[in-house]
Amino acid sequence: MAAARTRPGTAAPWCAAVLVVLTLLALLTGSGAAVAPTGPGVPAVQSVLDRHAAALLHRDETAFLADVDPGFRDRQRQVFRNLAQVPLDAWSYRVTGVGPDGDGGGGDRALARVRVGYRLTGYDTSAVTSDADLALVRRGGRWYVAGDRHDAQQLWDQGPVRLVRGAHSLVLGTDGPAVLRTYADAADRAVPAVGRAWGNGWSGRVVVEVPSSLARMAALLHAAPDTYRDIAAVTTGELGGSSGAPADRVIINPEAFGELSAFGRQVVLTHETTHVATRAATTATTPLWLSEGFADWVGYGGTGRTARQDAPELSRDVAAGKAPRQLPSDADFGTTAGGLAQAYEGAWLACRLIAADWGDAKLTELYRAAGTGGSLDTHLRAVLGTGLDDFTARWRAYVQRELA
């Protein structure tokens, strides 16, 4: 997941990002969950939920509610209606374990651990997945869904979802169409810019989710709001993902995003779209300075701005005689790390240096190579003809020259 952050201490906050792996939570398995002696087994619960999913896909509200306990029906009816505009290509529940609910309901109550998945028509080639616990109750010999607890919310848990389609984007949110259109317009400008920098090999489309508040954005990410207070947007995805990896989403923090200038907002969405494009080529061996610097390099590309304009924090450090000695480490990109803005700016300047001295194509080639494994020194020598120590020295000199 990439996080676009506002930089403190500047007249107009710009964006940066940190790439984080989307971690899939551990699941209960059928063998690991104690099955209630007189409760339903996995096949029985799976049958109920298969009907539930089919009814949702067919937009059949009556059938959707037929397997819901009366006490939970109003909540499920609202979720069903919140999804009315969402273009669903698939919806599924995969039961991974069934056990007692712990409420003393005996054989008439159970708790199922479920992997919920969905795909958006025209955008997702693989499912977005999340985990949930579903409470079940038996009435008249039949099992019904009686409650749920999701590890992370979805937009439709927060209210009616509205959507705006762009030429290269789909924006989902709980605000009105006029607000969502501004995100679609920025995303539509971002996609071609990313395509020119990265080339083919990705979908050329982006899905943007716009919750109504920081708290709701954090709920989508199953995190505390303070984690993302200064983060304008994040991109979820699985590093090095294959075609079967969960689909990417750019998720907006409307509070931090709203503090940005029009220029800053465009940089954020171009940066995040770059992470969507490069996700399959990004692995644990890709240094964050390269992935984040590359995304900023694309985001700032063609703006005609100077290095000092786009690296104000690092410029102040250089002027104070505190120029960096080493390339930013992965730890420097933690959301609570000191000097976070300087890490982003130094990473951007490293990629800017490569593009200036070796060419844009070599920067992209280095990015792709770094994700294949092996040492960064080896890849630098193979692609740029220089080792890590020499490149670091050239970067230090470049930072001094551009920011002095």
76-112 burial by CB neighbour count: b if 16+ within 10 A, else e? Answer: beeebebbeebeeeebbbbbbbbbbbeeebeeebbbb
- Supply the pLDDT for residue 235: 92
Q: How far apart are CA 123 and CA 90, in angstroms?
A: 12
* Digit-coded pLDDT (tens) for 27-78: 222 333 333 334 678 899 999 999 999 999 999 999 999 999 999 999 999 9
pLDDT band at 246; cut points 50, 70, 90? low
pLDDT band at 250; cut points 50, 70, 90? very high
- The one-character DSSP state at 228 is G
Residue 192 reports pLDDT greater than 90: yes
* Digit-coded pLDDT (tens) for 291-300: 999 999 999 9
How many other β-carbons are positioned within 10 Å of the β-carbon of residue 261? 12
* Digit-coded pLDDT (tens) for 118-136: 999 999 988 899 999 999 9
265: left (phi over 0), alpha (psi -120 to 50) or beta: alpha
Model's pTM, two decimal places?
Answer: 0.85
> Average of pLDDT values for 245-263?
89
Q: Torsions phi, psi of 400, nearest 5?
A: -60, -45
- Supply the pLDDT for residue 5: 41
- Supply the pLDDT for residue 227: 85
Of 401, 337, 315, nearest to 10 by C-alpha is 315
- Supply the pLDDT for residue 97: 92
Q: Is residue 229 within 8 Å of 214, Cβ to Cβ?
A: yes
Q: How far apart are CA 94 and CA 113, in angstroms?
A: 9
Q: Torsions phi, psi of 122, nearest 5?
A: 85, -5
- Supply the pLDDT for residue 41: 84
Q: Is residue 100 within 8 Å of 109, Cβ to Cβ?
A: yes
Q: What percent of the chain has pLDDT over 70?
A: 86
Ordered by where they begin, the domains of the chain are 1-21+155-278 (3.40.30), 42-150 (3.10.450.50), 283-404 (no CATH)
* Minimum mean pLDDT range among 58-67, 194-203, 243-252, 326-335: 243-252
* Digit-coded pLDDT (tens) for 87-115: 999 999 999 999 887 655 557 899 999 99
Sequence-separated (6 or more) residues with CB below 8 Å from residue 112: 45, 49, 95, 97, 98, 133, 134, 136
- Supply the pLDDT for residue 125: 86
- Supply the pLDDT for residue 17: 35
Q: How far apart are CA 70 and CA 50, in angstroms?
A: 19
* Minimum mean pLDDT range among 111-125, 220-234, 272-286, 295-309: 220-234
Q: How far apart are CA 379 and CA 366, in angstroms?
A: 7
Inter-CA distances, 285 with 350, 368, 371, Å: 17, 11, 6
Top-confidence residue, 330 or 237 = 330
Top-confidence residue, 10 or 142 = 142
Of 94, 154, 86, nearest to 122 by C-alpha is 86
- Supply the pLDDT for residue 27: 26
Q: Among the ranges 19-23, 39-43, 223-227, 275-279, which has the highest mean pLDDT value?
A: 275-279
Q: What percent of the chain has pLDDT over 90?
A: 75
Structure tokens at 224: 């505390």
- Supply the pLDDT for residue 200: 87
* Digit-coded pLDDT (tens) for 152-176: 899 999 999 999 999 999 999 999 9
- Supply the pLDDT for residue 244: 47
What is the dihedral angle through the alpha carbons of 21, 26, 29, 34, rounded to the nearest 10 degrees?
Answer: -170
Residue 16 reports pLDDT greater than 60: no
How many other β-carbons are positioned within 10 Å of the β-carbon of residue 22? 20
- Supply the pLDDT for residue 279: 92
The distance from CA 363 to its chain's CA centroid, rounded to whole angstroms, is: 24
- Tokens 């290269």, located at residue: 168
- Supply the pLDDT for residue 6: 38
3-state secondary structure of 167: coil
Query: What value does the mean pLDDT of the chain take?
Result: 87
Residue 254 reports pLDDT greater than 60: yes
Q: Is 308 exposed, middle or buried (0-12, 13-18, 19+ CB in 10 A)?
A: middle
